[in-house]
Chains A and B, each alone.
Chain A
Amino acid sequence: MSTASPDADELGRRVGEFLAAHDPAGAEPLEFLRARFAAGLAWVHYPEGLGGLGAPRALQPAVDRRFAEAGAPSNRPERNGIGLGMAAPTILAFGTEELKRRFLRPLWTGEEIWCQLFSEPGAGSDLAALGTRAVPDGDGWTVNGQKVWTSMAHEARWAILVTRTDPDVPKHRGMTYFVCDMTAPGVEVRPLRQATGEAEFNEVFLTDVRIPDEHRLGAVGDGWRVATTTLMNERVAIGGAAAPRESGMIGVVAGLWRDRPELRTAGLHGDLMRLWVETEAARLTGERLRQALTAGQPGPEGSAAKLAFARLNQEVSGLELELLGEDGLRYDDWTMRRPSAVDFTHRSPGYRYLRAKGNSIEGGTSEILRNIIAERVLGLPGEIRVDKDVPWKDLPR
């Protein structure tokens, strides 16, 4: 056991030793990933024995880079964003030792995909209004309710779930947080088709689903505090390399502008240049945030980045359709499909325009983000609350 947290040099040495002992090209991928986890090189800021070495979080990108450069098998983090970004830190913070040992390794290796059962038809921005009921039942709980906007539910093995356990107290106090087995009887996943024609998301119906009490995270009634931990992690973005200039949607439109002189008009040129500048400003802001995180100076700029990203994606994709004129009237495919990732660059301009509309809604609406910036960053007074001291069951809905 080491006593001091390893620095960058020490991590580099350990990665080198690991790669010497485990051939990254020839290894069976899952065995390799499990060995990497055992060596503490999965997420270096996690504790020893749970895939980490207690190192500073800022050192992770360099470790990932070394493994990628060596051609090592990837745990394909893009497939398990909820698991890695939200479930894992919550389990780490609130799970028993037994739960941490059971769940963290297959989560990190990608053997088990996770989804998030938070939003409900009646609880969107106001998550704490949720009404999915969990009732004590012998040595566990019985859960009934409906969740929505659940990406990856159709591939997930496990879910993080927030429920209402006490309807007689104000809403923030009566919630409890669980790990839910997505293969349990009573869990039904239905695709939720969206404006683009495809179904990235699902509705999840929970009917008399049994959850053992050992799968509870945090105390009974403490679900809001646990969920807040989860959501804070959702907004921590640690980027790898800087995005190159004209990557993303502005690059698509700039290329179109260069290739198709007959489409150009004076007004659209003004729009294009304005959006080009704003996109570059957002890119440099992301780069500055990355540098600050690497230097151990986390700041609140991540919320600003999401606000700007949503608005720019919408404006740039709207400009692209107008610039295209006749071609902007066409769409590529309305077939109901089940994509596992959002693909902004390989689908049609119409898809980009429609999909971008979700950017200001998913992961916190732009309006809620503005409230958060105004209240937590600028310190402006909060909303006048009418629901704070009212028992959940008496709230208008």
Chain B
Amino acid sequence: MSDLLYSEVEDDLRAGVRGMLDDKAPWGEVLAGTERDEPYDAALWGAVAVRLGCAGLPVPEELGGAGATWREAAVVMEELGRAVAPVPFLTSAVLATAALLAAGERELLAEVASGDRIAVLAVPLSTAPGGPATGAVRAADGTLTGRVGSVADGAAADVLLVPAPDGLYAVDAAAAERTPVISLDMTRRLCDLTFSAAPARRVAGGTAAVEAALTTGAALLASEQLGLAERCLDLTVAHLKTRYQFGRPVGSYQGLKHRLADLWTAITQARAVARYAVACVADGDPDTAVAVAVAQAHCSAVAVQAAEECVQMHGGIGFTWEHPAHLYLKRAKSDAIALGTPDRHRAALAVLLDLPPA
């Protein structure tokens, strides 16, 4: 059985990332950013990707990365989830990086791993592993034509990795028409991409690179959901200890504390399944498909539960724009749809486990 605990190196990494996020991405700043035009926080991304060197964690040192594994990247995902940080880590440092690693693409990978360039896999954020990631864009004579909707961080990208029927293509982002989307989660913005005979370079044949990216992304998304859920629980517990109604702290009511005990239990489980999924991805374990589907089916629900409880248990203030709860709610619900809904992952499991539907 894989190691499901955190190493000392991971604990140190977590402390470094959390300290930096506390300093540079307090929620008030994140909230203000959602009303600005910039599609992501470039200064924050510079700190995460370059200063802390997190952009290329799973990339071997000889390919320009940090020579760590996906496990360390997952710890960064937990912390970014806690902060709902508006940076393209999932999209560039996880999805695109996994695709480039699988494709054996060296030069672009090194640029992405160093944080110098942001690469984004051009699929709708809702795409599940095993789902159709191609079909909307066709390739001809070294160019791409077609449309892809709801691409996360598409507006932040320097390079787009576009699945086409005969493989994966790299396209200069400036060669695509990018239409920003008003997104449910404005801390991870979507855009619609249109390619009109855009010059493109094929970096991999087949669909294996895209599939690897989606599987890895789904595994690491579970860690983001874990971090988000923990943060929501922390916020809610802190509020219930200090909020008095009827002459007593509202946290003394069983109607609330029992729900939080259940949430804590679910988060405890989320940590185990998220660690298992990322360990499988890191080790190339044959159980990866099952582990990732379990992690997504479970952690999606836990993150949404945590964010919804956070809103409800804060009462009126939890429903306001000025309180951070809505940022978590929007991220949690978007994450539940991202890279496959829980139901799609359960359907995938039914196939993997030979538990066919009626």
Contacts and interface: CB of A to CB of B under 8 A. Distances in A.
A binds B: yes
Interface of A: 242, 254, 257-258, 261, 264-266, 268-270, 272-274, 276-278, 280-282, 284-285, 287-288, 291-292, 295, 297, 301, 304, 307-308, 367, 369-371, 373-375, 377-384
A304 B263 CA distance: 10
Interface size class of B (residues with CB under 8 A): 35 or more
**Residue among B248, B252, B261, B356 with the most chain A CB within 10 A?**
B261
**Residue among A242, A272, A374, A383 with the most chain B CB within 10 A?**
A374
Interface of B: 1, 3-5, 233, 237, 240-241, 248-249, 251-252, 254, 257-258, 260-262, 264-265, 268-273, 275-276, 294, 297-298, 346-347, 349-350, 353-358
Contact of B353 (A254, A307, A377): A254
A278 B270 CA distance: 10
Nearest to A382: B252
A284 B257 CA distance: 25
B258 to A, nearest CB: 4
21 contacts: A258-B355, A264-B356, A264-B358, A268-B358, A276-B349, A277-B294, A281-B269, A282-B269, A291-B1, A291-B3, A301-B268, A304-B268, A307-B261, A370-B258, A373-B264, A378-B260, A379-B241, A380-B241, A381-B251, A383-B254, A384-B248
B357 A287 contact: no
A261 B357 CA distance: 9
A369 B294 contact: no
Nearest to A374: B257
B155 to A, nearest CB: 35
Nearest to A306: B265
B349 A381 contact: no
Contacts of B346: 270, 273-274, 277
B1 A273 contact: no
Nearest to B248: A384
A257 B354 CA distance: 9
Contacts of A284: 4, 269, 272-273, 276, 294
B298 A287 contact: no
Given A264-B357, A369-B261, 6 more contacts: A273-B355, A277-B298, A277-B349, A281-B298, A285-B272, A384-B248
B299 to A, nearest CB: 9
Nearest to A241: B1
Nearest to A280: B294
**Residue among B241, B251, B275 with the most chain A CB within 10 A?**
B251
Contacts of A383: 252, 254
A268 B276 CA distance: 27
Nearest to A246: B353
A9 B126 CA distance: 52
Given A258-B354, A272-B355, A370-B257, A378 B264 contact: yes
B254 to A, nearest CB: 7
B257 A285 contact: no
Contacts of B298: 277-278, 281
Closest 4 CB pairs of A and B: A374-B257, A370-B261, A373-B261, A264-B358
B251 A380 contact: yes
A291 B271 CA distance: 13
**Residue among B1, B233, B272 with the most chain A CB within 10 A?**
B272
A378 B5 contact: no
B275 A381 contact: no
Contact of B265 (A273, A308, A375): A308
Contacts of B237: 378-380
Contacts of B254: 367, 370-371, 383
B248 to A, nearest CB: 6
A375 B294 contact: no
Contacts of B249: 380-381
A287 B258 CA distance: 25
B252 A381 contact: yes
A276 B345 CA distance: 12
Contacts of A264: 356-358
A26 B251 CA distance: 61
A269 B5 contact: no
Contacts of A282: 269
A367 B260 CA distance: 12
Nearest to A284: B272
A377 B233 CA distance: 12
B358 A371 contact: no
Given A273-B355, A277-B298, A288 B257 contact: no
Contacts of A254: 353, 355
Given A276-B349, A304-B269, A269 B357 contact: yes
**Residue among B4, B258, B269 with the most chain A CB within 10 A?**
B269
Contacts of B233: 378
A282 B268 CA distance: 9
Nearest to B354: A258
A374 B358 CA distance: 41
Contact of A266 (B4, B272, B294, B358): B358
Contact of A281 (B241, B258, B272, B357): B272
A364 to B, nearest CB: 13
Given A284-B272, A284-B276, A373 B265 contact: yes
B257 A273 contact: no
Contacts of B294: 277, 280-281, 284
B273 to A, nearest CB: 5
A380 B240 contact: yes
Nearest to B271: A288
A285 B269 contact: yes
A367 B5 CA distance: 29
Contacts of A270: 346
A126 to B, nearest CB: 15
A287 B349 contact: no
A383 B294 CA distance: 36
B301 to A, nearest CB: 9
A284 B355 CA distance: 20
